Structure 1
Amino acid sequence: MVAGQESEPIRVVVVDDQELFRRGLTMLLGVEPDIEVVGEAGDGAAAAELAASVAPDVVLLDVRMPKRSGLEACVEIKELVPTARIIMLTMSDEEGDLYDAVKNGASGYLLKDASIDEVAQAVRVVAEGQSLISPSMAVKLLDEFKEMSRSGRAEEVPGPRLTARELEVLRLVATGLANRDIAGQLFISENTVKNHVRNILEKLQLHSRMEAVMYAVREKILDLP
């Protein structure tokens, strides 16, 4: 948030079946001046109902929960509240879970050993439309994409051709760079980068930057070993 700029707080829903963890996270995020926790849920089914009711900006969602998993809830929440950004906050560091989370529309994936500052920053980043995955998981994600590319498991995503500049931006997005860093490398403004990313997602009919990475790997836009 820019100093002196009036802005509504980021509205967050916290979903975890472990009550102590959920309540603790709610309390800690509630201290942040630009974040407001507007609800809690203890399972995937309740999470979808709550999201539909309060229309949050960001949902912090555990992967493994009773009644309905976080991965299943992620799909339903995106259908009910397309504007909601979802961060999977979990103990699971399995590549398959990470891939499924991204495929199902998640914008972020953090392990539960992340600090509260890291979680709060993740909320801010995804609320702006960017993606955030912890560095250790990003390596695993790219490994999973490479394996899918080799085995042909990746799904086809039809779409029009991207411009040369859009391809440049996509390559840099796929390396994990934020908009500001991409702008610096290409000597263009951050707003121009945001516009390019939005156009890329619209053209390819994708929902997140990480889905765009999957597309880049599949179409061999990225030169991965």
Structure 2
Amino acid sequence: MLSQVEQSKTLATLLVDDDDQFRAGIRTLLSFSQIQDRAIKVIGEANRPALALSLAEQHTPDLILIDMELIEGDGLSLLQQLQDSNASSKTLVLSGHQEDYWIYQAMQSGADGYVFKGQVSQQLLDAIATIMQNQIYLPPEVATGFFRKFQKTQASLPSQIGQPCNLSERESDVLYWLVQGASNDEIGKKLYISVATVKTHLTNIFLKLQVTSRTQAIVAAIKMNLVQS
């Protein structure tokens, strides 16, 4: 367990992947990197969901990097279990799967971002920096598949489309910019309100949409046609 001083200076990270060689490569990359003046410290590694959950509970990492293919399970089940346990860790998927299904399911299961393994060297640090600022990271090649899957599934969710949730006009404005990927600070500047007010609106939005994260709010907003691109 890291001390409070160490926690403030480091970004505690858990690596979850069934490929020992890939984990070693990520560990090496992270050892030479910093995010927001915090050194990245790998505090544990796992190749199966059960071990990952145990390590996450023991160490409470700031960040968990998750592969979709794991021994005795998969990344989707792990994401869901982390979400069900109300874990505070940010989760970033690093996967060789480029199919729309995996991208859609990962984000719907609570992932804060998704990066193809073939793009890790170019995108990993940017992705980590983005999600640690409470934003969602989806590079263009991933976002395309994510929203394409939404378009295909909307027709099968007629009861949710147009479902009223009593958002105020200001909450709708905040939700619009949230879907565009804006940070709390950026939303505040665009709407001429304080960050504290943005957070209050987000809390109300989450309650009305019955979600617990920014990712889930975006998923719900798109499903229910609450925002227009």
TM-score by length of 2: 0.83
Q: Structure 1 pair 39/142, CA: closer, same or farther in 2 (3 Å)?
A: same
Structure 1 residue aligned with 2:18: 17
Structure 1 residue aligned with 2:70: 65
Between 33-42 and 126-135, the greater mean CA deviation after superposition: 126-135
CA distance in 2, matches of 1:44, 1:107: 18
Moved over 6 A (4+): 153-156
Query: Retained in 2: the 8 A contact 1:52–1:77?
Result: no
Q: CA deviation at 1:115?
A: 4.2
1:139 is aligned to 2:144: yes
Query: Retained in 2: the 8 A contact 1:17–1:41?
Result: yes
Q: CA deviation at 1:47?
A: 1.4
Equivalenced residues, count? 218
Query: Retained in 2: the 8 A contact 1:111–1:134?
Result: no
Structure 2 residue aligned with 1:111: 116
CA distance in 1, matches of 2:132, 2:164: 26
What do the CA deviations read for 1:132-160 (whole angstroms, capped 9, x no partner)? 1122211221222222222227879x995
Q: How does 1:15-164 map to 2 (within 5 A)?
A: 15-33=16-34, 34=38, 35-80=40-85, 82-116=87-121, 118-152=123-157, 160-164=165-169
Q: CA deviation at 1:19?
A: 0.8
Structure 2 residue aligned with 1:210: 215
Structure 1 residue aligned with 2:4: none
What letter corresponds to residue 182 of structure 1 in structure 2? I
Query: Retained in 2: the 8 A contact 1:87–1:110?
Result: yes
CA distance in 1, matches of 2:201, 2:223: 20
Between 56-65 and 139-148, the greater mean CA deviation after superposition: 139-148
CA distance in 2, matches of 1:139, 1:188: 31
CA distance in 2, matches of 1:87, 1:221: 26
CA distance in 1, matches of 2:75, 2:159: 22
What letter corresponds to residue 214 of structure 2 in structure 1? R
Query: Retained in 2: the 8 A contact 1:183–1:190?
Result: yes
Aligned residues: CA RMSD: 2.6
What do the CA deviations read for 1:74-133 (whole angstroms, capped 9, x no partner)? 112233452122111111111111111122111111111234463223223323322211
What letter corresponds to residue 18 of structure 1 in structure 2? D
Query: Retained in 2: the 8 A contact 1:89–1:109?
Result: yes
CA distance in 1, matches of 2:93, 2:205: 24
CA distance in 2, matches of 1:218, 1:182: 22
Structure 1 residue aligned with 2:3: none
Q: CA deviation at 1:16?
A: 0.9
CA distance in 2, matches of 1:186, 1:219: 23
TM-score by length of 1: 0.84
CA distance in 2, matches of 1:64, 1:154: 33
SS, match of residue 133 in structure 1: coil
Aligned pair partner of 1:179 in 176, 181, 184: 184
What letter corresponds to residue 9 of structure 1 in structure 2? T
Identity of aligned residues (%): 29
CA distance in 1, matches of 2:145, 2:30: 28
